[in-house]
Chains A and B, each alone.
Chain A
């Protein structure tokens, strides 16, 4: 009945201790591996036949490729396609993990902020490293907007830097908070059904309302799972675009 209980990390297998920290295979790691297996089955297994006229699974794999490639091309240009492996991996991983998390008795990996922060920092550091590699110190011009009077330029530059630094925060918190809030809401309404169902006939009648709500919320969660993976991917594309393009 505890709505937070579903987010608990459990050690399934302890490998040993490094520096006083337990190194263990947790349920979170297990569901990451399951997500990887699902993605691998889709992208490697379903396209193994290489049919000219794709079958059902092969066309799902092809559609997911086209979808991410179109998103990347439209936001970061064809030059951004060198980052396609990164964006595709992020999108497929988050999508698989989110969708698996909706199934009852599973664990939602992205409901832990440490996971989303790592993914967001990966993108953030990629942008910084590639930006300096490609443009050198010219990359700092990202923080200096043109056409600003000189006397407020330091202030504006400072605000731009803060805005840049806040990117990984909003990038990660959005995914984390959406998954956490959605799953807690789902659990709370599920708890209402059980509580009302224990109150006899009238309670069972009343339990129909939260049950309907749970059904509707599950559909909404499926949408949110896809939408958040898409939002994460498209923001990655937008941020990468800053690093890639001197001219648009």
Chain B
């Protein structure tokens, strides 16, 4: 009985040891992958420590993003209003261009935040 318990314990221990070895291998691979990614993006800082909420450049960044959104909406509204005045299509132009302007604003924000690549004149496969 006691022997069997010991054997069980040993198996459990072994069972516990095995995943830990796997985990070590996995974390080594993760480190390797992280290093390779770091080589691909040398401009990105490797440490992602928590940033202070009072960081003034974060305030500037937030302000920049909000202005980008507002600018898109404003330009859309202005174009819609002008088209309505010239073509007499009120309020269709305003509605359509306000929505398009909002989409453009969201696009601006995503570009400014670096979520999507900025537009370039060339297709991406032409770049090195």
Q: Which residues of A contact B (CB under 8 A)?
A: 135, 138-139, 141-142, 145-147, 158-160, 162-163, 165-167, 169-170, 173-174, 177-178, 220, 223-224, 227-228, 231, 238, 242, 245-248
Contact = CB atoms under 8 A, between A and B. Distances in A.
Tell which of A135, A163, A165 has the most Cβ of chain B within 10 Å: A163
The 6 closest A-B pairs by CB, nearest first: A170-B71, A162-B104, A169-B71, A166-B75, A163-B104, A146-B123
Say what secondary structure dominates the interface of chain A.
helix
Contacts of B72: 162-163, 166, 170
A86 B104 CA distance: 28
B121 A142 contact: yes
B124 to A, nearest CB: 7
Interface in B30-76: 56-57, 60, 63-64, 67-68, 70-72, 74-76
Size band of the B side of the interface? 20 to 34
A227 B56 contact: yes
Contacts of B67: 170, 173-174, 177
Contacts of A247: 122, 126-127
A162 B120 contact: no
Contacts of B83: none
Tell which of B64, B68, B71, B124 has the most Cβ of chain A within 10 Å: B71
B60 A162 contact: no
A159 B103 contact: yes
B73 to A, nearest CB: 8
Contacts of A169: 71, 74-75
Contacts of A166: 68, 71-72, 74-76, 101, 104-105, 108
Contacts of A163: 72, 104-105, 107-108, 111
A138 B121 contact: yes
16 contacts: A147-B123, A159-B104, A160-B119, A162-B97, A162-B100, A169-B71, A170-B64, A177-B67, A227-B56, A231-B64, A245-B122, A247-B122, A247-B126, A248-B120, A248-B122, A248-B127
B118 interface: yes
Given A141-B121, A227-B56, A248-B122, A162 B63 contact: no
Nearest to B108: A163
B121 A135 contact: yes
A170 B105 CA distance: 10
B103 to A, nearest CB: 5
Contacts of B122: 245-248
Given A178-B63, A245-B121, 5 more contacts: A162-B100, A166-B74, A169-B71, A170-B68, A231-B60
